[in-house]
Amino acid sequence: MAQLLIFARAKWDWKLAIAHCDHKWRIDSTDNAHHVQKLSNGWGLPFYLRTTEIDLVSEAAARNWRYKMLAEMAIEAACQIVVTGHTQSDRAETVLYNLVRGSGTNGLQSLTWQRFLSSNIQLIRPLLNISRNETSEFCQELNLPIWQDHTNQILTYRRNRIREELIPYLRQHFNPAVEKALAQTAELLTADVDYLELQASQFWDTCEPKINRVDLLQHHLAIQRRATHQFLSYYLPQTPDFNDVQRFLQLLSAPGRSQSSPFIGGWKAEVEHPFIYLRQGFVSS
């Protein structure tokens, strides 16, 4: 589950460092970290390591912790860019993983080419057009040492089951180039998401927790949902789910003084026409 990442600093005068996150999910995770450190020392590059001190109970928790640590290490290394080795295969797997979880377009766009980890740390994934088989062949041709992660064969991890069982089945029975097709779908959805996010952002701002429901009601449900999700995400302590968004949207056409049931964190939405206000101080259920 740990992975190798590369930091790069400055636009033209590139300086590299290697960072590694140890999730402590494997009995050989310490050996894995030493392997990466040995590579880094052999290449004369600075090495940064983070080892979790908490129990990462899910893949989502591990991912959140990992990106937080990467941002910290980038700051420590005085670097502005984090580069990961995610491939086209990873992107295809993420599309399927999020699809079966019931994700919307945000989840199905999966791994994007770049995004910000913080206000001044950028994450870049330059290998999204290259399959895992191609990166493996590249390493073999250059005699680069490869660490075999045996946990990739453990099917209790859902992503492993997608990789080892579902994608081979789809490749054999539906589309030999299924990884490429799924990655292309993610790429198409990325442009759609970017456009919808921009349109939805016009209906609220950070100055006051309110939305003009008259304006929002005139637009398509897709914009209503996305604007509401953006708005709630900004104020609530955790990302709103589908039910949270639906509860808020019911207030678009509700009578004045109508209220939602409490959201997480004690927030509640209330109609004061023409606005819906989000206010804190309620006991959440």
Residues forming CATH 3.40.50.620 domain(s) in the chain: 4-181
Q: How far apart are CA 237 and CA 47, in angstroms?
A: 34
Q: Which one, of 185, 194, 70, lies nearest residue 128 by Cα?
A: 185
pLDDT of residue 2: 35
Q: How far apart are CA 212 and CA 220, in angstroms?
A: 15
- The residue with greater pLDDT, 267 or 282, is 267
Read off the pLDDT band of 11 (50, 70, 90): low
CATH value of 4-181 in 3.40.50.720, 3.40.50.2020, 3.90.650.10, 3.40.50.620 = 3.40.50.620
Amino acid at 104: G
Residues forming CATH 1.20.59.20 domain(s) in the chain: 204-280
- The residue with greater pLDDT, 285 or 178, is 178
Tell me the CATH architecture of domain 204-280. Up-down Bundle (1.20)
Which secondary structure element, helix H or strand E, spans residue 269, and what is its range? strand 267-272
Structure confidence by residue, pLDDT tens digits, 191-200: 999 999 999 9
Structure confidence by residue, pLDDT tens digits, 99-115: 998 888 888 887 899 99
Which pTM was predicted?
A: 0.79
Q: Which one, of 71, 24, 14, lies nearest residue 48 by Cα?
A: 71
Structural tokens at position 41: 């020392």
pLDDT of residue 145: 85
Q: Which one, of 123, 130, 124, 140, lies nearest residue 87 by Cα?
A: 130
Amino acid at 164: E
Residue 285 in this model has a pLDDT that exceeds 50: no
CA atoms within 13 A on the CB side of 96: 24
Structural tokens at position 166: 């579902």
pLDDT of residue 3: 40
Secondary structure (3-state) at 101: coil
Q: How far apart are CA 37 and CA 20, in angstroms?
A: 8
Q: How far apart are CA 89 and CA 95, in angstroms?
A: 10
Give φ, ψ of 48 to 5 degrees.
-125, 140
